[in-house]
Structure 1
């Protein structure tokens, strides 16, 4: 039996990077293990659910939604038992997931707003992991959340400008405009010298646009860029 694994490669970075930043900022704790396992399987379960909404191979995706939901619920219950406040965080994310379901239902899941909603959900993983490690929510939890949203929104703009919207000149200016203000927004939300981690995003958006890069190369560059962001912001958090 072939295991169902989402092919949304960028989503894996969105899943991991904010969570790791939360661990770095809040402090590593053994409770991160069940939280991350539950978070991972929740993502794996959400993918077939969106496919079910599209009414594609419903029975097949129902099976995998069930397979992944069992460990997701089991490990998240453990995490919530250790930090009950996580329930509130989960409830607050539900409207964003409804946005994802809506765009899946309308077969428009490549829409930018859908991407931003998903980015918000993934970035909240950093809030959860920080909360578990620090035992509280403070400004640094929201710093991780906002900086992650800023970074990955830039990634969404860039990838669309290189693939789906590569012939859309108006979208090019949207992407360039966002990446022009990206460092300013990052600084405005307290990045300090960690803004260095977002500058490569702006540079690649300007320099790479219009170049004939394969989807694979675009993905590799984005992975490297995410690693740069993760490294710089992690060092910044360790020095506060």
Structure 2
């Protein structure tokens, strides 16, 4: 019975823990960089439903098992459609953002169909896709400084792309010295970009993330413990970004 319940849960609730951070953090950055309002509650509910709907959709694209993923798609799709319609009525400008998400989702669909969801390019497309919500939340809050929003977007991309590199050195590329060097090199480059483009105080969290990428893959850290630490690193990044910028 327990196994059955876990299988049912896995069809309705994604087990990709890192995706939850990508779902929430860019939204918070965009919202607090502008002016938080009640519409943001509806927007986040819609954004959450988009994620919950696309998860079984991508699994269906990969497996074609309608018996497994049909009901979750119907549930989340049925909730999403009226909420999305209400959001478009309340803020028609949201329609402008939809075409920006579609090409990136098609990339995810391509890799899902070929059962290569762990490919680096697929992960990068997901990072870009999740990060776009920053602009949507910023616009909904009345934000006008798009150069500032763009800098937040860049910072978000730098952080989550670094997370892709780091996590792979812990799991699938843990015995690949070349990938480890690429990960460390990327984090050094991110630190340099932050030194040039952002306030100096942001070098503190970025240095912590560099040390994470250098040291932790050389330890015998478990996947579970690494995931728990990522929560702390995500909080550090988000708080520093909001306070400093």
TM-score (norm 2): 0.91
Aligned residue for 1:209, secondary structure, equals: helix
d(CA) in 2 for partners of 1:137, 1:55:
43
User: 71-80 or 215-224: which moved more?
Assistant: 71-80
User: 75-84 or 122-131: which moved more?
Assistant: 75-84
Aligned residues: 237
Trace 1:212-231 onto structure 2 (pairs within 5 A). Answer: 212-231=220-239
Following superposition, the deviation at residue 192 of structure 1 comes to: 4.4
Following superposition, the deviation at residue 59 of structure 1 comes to: 2.1
The answer for unaligned runs of 5 or more in structure 2 is none
Partner of 1:91: 99
Partner of 1:116: 124
User: 67-76 or 94-103: which moved more?
Assistant: 67-76
Partner of 1:50: 58
Partner of 2:89: 81
Contact 2:28/2:134 (8 A) holds in 1: yes
Contact 1:131/1:141 (8 A) holds in 2: no
Partner of 1:6: 14
The answer for unaligned runs of 5 or more in structure 1 is none
Give the number of the structure whose residues are more often helix, by fraction.
Answer: 2
**Cα root mean square deviation, aligned:** 1.6
Aligned residue for 1:64, secondary structure, equals: helix
TM-score (norm 1): 0.93
Instruction: Select the residue among 16, 20, 27 that pairs with 2:28.
Output: 20
d(CA) in 2 for partners of 1:176, 1:90:
35
